[in-house]
């Protein structure tokens, strides 16, 4: 978790450029809170990975290549969440900042370009996260149709 952040947020990157190239940085993020890192690559445009919720785990997302629509939904009832809950959308690419999704939310994403790759940092170690894992159908909340009509065929 990032202290004091209770809603999904895009954290802007800092950047410095000179004759050697560029440096992207996020000096406001305390990385001591994060326990594991994983990278997902979707080779086919329009691949949906959704919905994955956590009561106590927070996640930080950074696009490494391509573009994603990353969505978050606050969970009102972990066993039977309302399909009417508001879906927050972040359209992000490698030039965007990072998105933090705090505990209490489900997240899902779709890549809008082939071979898109996204890195995720999580606030729990894998063994601790197993009991904080809530999965919902990819269309329980449905922001995907405009990006991937294929999942409806």
Q: Do the beta carbons of residue 117 and residue 104 sit within 8 Å?
A: no
Q: What is the pLDDT along the chain (153 residues), one digit of tens a residue?
A: 588 899 999 999 999 999 999 999 998 888 999 999 999 999 999 999 999 999 999 999 999 999 999 999 999 999 999 999 999 999 999 999 999 999 999 999 999 999 999 999 999 999 999 999 999 999 999 999 888 655 544
Determine the distance from the C-alpha atom of residue 97 to the mean position of all C-alpha atoms in its chain, rounded to a whole number: 12
- Starting at the edge strand found earlier in the chain, the sheet holding 9-11 runs 9-11, 98-101, 59-65, 116-122, 36-42
């Amino acid at each position: 978790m990032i202290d004091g952040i209770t809603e999904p947020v895009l954290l802007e990157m800092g950047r410095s450029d000179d004759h050697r190239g560029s440096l992207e940085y996020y000096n406001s993020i305390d990385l001591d809170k994060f326990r594991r890192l994983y990278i997902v690559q979707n080779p086919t445009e329009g691949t949906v990975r959704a919905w994955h919720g956590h009561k106590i785990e927070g996640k930080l997302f950074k696009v490494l290549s391509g573009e994603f629509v990353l969505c978050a939904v606050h969970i009102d009832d972990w066993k039977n969440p309302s399909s009417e809950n508001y879906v927050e959308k972040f359209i992000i690419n490698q030039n965007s900042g990072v998105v933090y999704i705090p505990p209490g939310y489900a997240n899902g994403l779709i890549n809008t370009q082939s071979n898109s790759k996204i890195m995720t940092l999580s606030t729990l170690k894998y063994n601790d996260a197993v009991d904080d894992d809530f999965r919902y159908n990819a269309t329980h909340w449905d922001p995907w149709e405009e990006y991937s009509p294929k999942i409806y065929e």
